[in-house]
Structure 1
Amino acid sequence: MGFPDQSTNPAGTRKARLSRELVLSTALALVDKEGLEALSMRRLGQELQRDPMSLYRYAVNRAALLDGISEMVFDELAIFPDDPDWQAQLRRIAHDLRLLALRHPNVVPLLVTRPLSTPLGLRPLGTLRPLEQILALLIEAGFTPATALHVYRAYYGFLYGHILNELQEYIVDPEESEAILRLGLHRLPAKDFPHLRALGPVLAEYDGAAELDQGLSILLTGLTNHLTTHP
């Protein structure tokens, strides 16, 4: 049973006027709370207390909702293509993207895998903005356009790999001081997983921001050397 599309709810208070921003922000909040599987027009209509049919004006189907969520998340990522300090800019973007992923972990699979099924030119414009702006940043820094594209691929490949890895660093018992127990590694057969169990203390001390910074330093050093030796 759908909800009537009216201006007030049963309590008599006025409901917010429907808009694309309200629909997408509610969809994003629903995914953050319950995961991508929970998102449907019917479920979103329940969250908004509206007839699901009224939502098709703002998103023609679930796929359009997913595209809109991707654009909304990427809109939170600030990029300044004219910044002359391209290394600092790439480092800041990386840390900002990591924080975005930690705020919206349920959206990360959408950002990483959904583009695989969509040709580049057919993707939502908002999801292509970071690509265009980072290309501009790198070309302005002195990289050729083709090299800038290779750099972008290596950069985002590293970032998404790091983010997916960090999101897998689950802590079973945060209050436990013993690393093996804290990570749940005691459940692994000792004879089959000796290295993982031995690395318990290192795994337990995982620092996502520091790990990202170390990887960025390696990547940026290589890119700087390339720019110096291939003017």
Structure 2
Amino acid sequence: MADSSTDATTRRGERSGVPVSRDSVLAAALMIIDRDGVEALSMRRLAEAVGRDPMVIYRHVPNKAAVLDGVSELVFEQVRVDADDPDWTTQLREVARSFRELALAHPNVVPLLVTRPLSTPLAMRALSVVRPLEDILRLLMGAGFNGADALHIYRALFGFLYGHVLNELQEVVERPEETDEVLRLGLHRLPITEFPLLRGLAPVLAAYDGAAELERGLDILLTGLTATLPRTTP
């Protein structure tokens, strides 16, 4: 005779009617994080989302850290690089724009995109996480950069992108209905004698445009790289 825990697991499985896989578990985790944030994710809540006993979830992901790694993989899988594009600067701009769109679509996942890969040695990261690096290296080396310079460009680009999306997502307006920029941004809380320059930039801060800031940053970054890094003839 089956015990009560077995019966409960069976009832949950029958209620769901959908086979559980690693992909379905990670998709459910991404939905929870998108809606309620990383802090709201637990293995029990994840099990409830897929209609299974928590022990079933552990067959596909060993712990919460593995779930967080998997969620970052899901998003990184959507980063596309055309390594055969003859115009490397245009292609990197397209990569940057699509990365920003992914970040805005999954703002609660952005901290995972920045931190989770760093917690794993490069060769042990998921293929979807390493693939953009390989493709960008191929793009740049095909454009005539040597391997070391291509790696430098990749690091500079993604270092800029991580910083940009984190900054854009933190541009919170305290009083959106307020017309005075200092009050709108909450800068009135800062002592004027200690932060005169920051308060003086209130109109610029209030007019923050994430897309325009991205393009301006890319202009500076790519122009500098083009001017300073040597290339061989492809």
C-alpha distance in 2 between matches for 1:121 and 1:31: 27
Match of 2:54 in 1: 52
C-alpha distance in 2 between matches for 1:186 and 1:15: 56
Match of 1:78 in 2: 80
Aligned CA distance change for structure 1 residues 43 and 7 (closer, same or farther; 3 Å): closer
- Deviation per CA, 1:66-105: give whole Å up to 9, x if none: 1111110011112111111111110011011111111111
Q: How does 1:165-204 map to 2 (within 5 A)?
A: 165-204=167-206
Please give the TM-score of this superposition, normalised by the length of structure 2. 0.89
Match of 1:131 in 2: 133
Match of 1:161 in 2: 163
Aligned pair 1:4/2:6, yes or no? no
Query: Structure 2: where are the runs of 5+ without partners?
Result: none
Give the root-mean-square deviation of aligned CA atoms: 1.8
C-alpha distance in 1 between matches for 2:203 and 2:34: 31
Q: Secondary structure at the match of 1:191?
A: coil
Match of 2:35 in 1: 33
Match of 1:222 in 2: 224
Aligned CA distance change for structure 1 residues 226 and 194 (closer, same or farther; 3 Å): closer
Contact residue 117 and residue 129 of structure 2 kept, 8 A: no
Q: CA deviation at 1:187?
A: 2.0
Q: Secondary structure at the match of 1:57?
A: coil
Q: How does 1:92-131 map to 2 (within 5 A)?
A: 92-131=94-133
Count residues in correspondence: 225
C-alpha distance in 1 between matches for 2:77 and 2:189: 42
Identity of paired residues, percent?
Answer: 59
Contact residue 174 and residue 186 of structure 2 kept, 8 A: yes
Q: CA deviation at 1:216?
A: 0.5
Match of 1:145 in 2: 147
C-alpha distance in 1 between matches for 2:183 and 2:14: 52
Bigger mean CA deviation after superposition, 167-176 or 124-133: 167-176
Q: CA deviation at 1:7?
A: 4.2
Match of 2:214 in 1: 212
Bigger mean CA deviation after superposition, 178-187 or 130-139: 178-187
Bigger mean CA deviation after superposition, 31-40 or 129-138: 31-40
Aligned CA distance change for structure 1 residues 192 and 55 (closer, same or farther; 3 Å): same
Which amino acid is 1:73 matched to?
Answer: V
C-alpha distance in 1 between matches for 2:117 and 2:187: 35
- Deviation per CA, 1:3-57: give whole Å up to 9, x if none: 6353443xxxx54332222211110111112222222211211222211111122
Query: Structure 1: where are the runs of 5+ without partners?
Result: none
C-alpha distance in 2 between matches for 1:77 and 1:15: 32
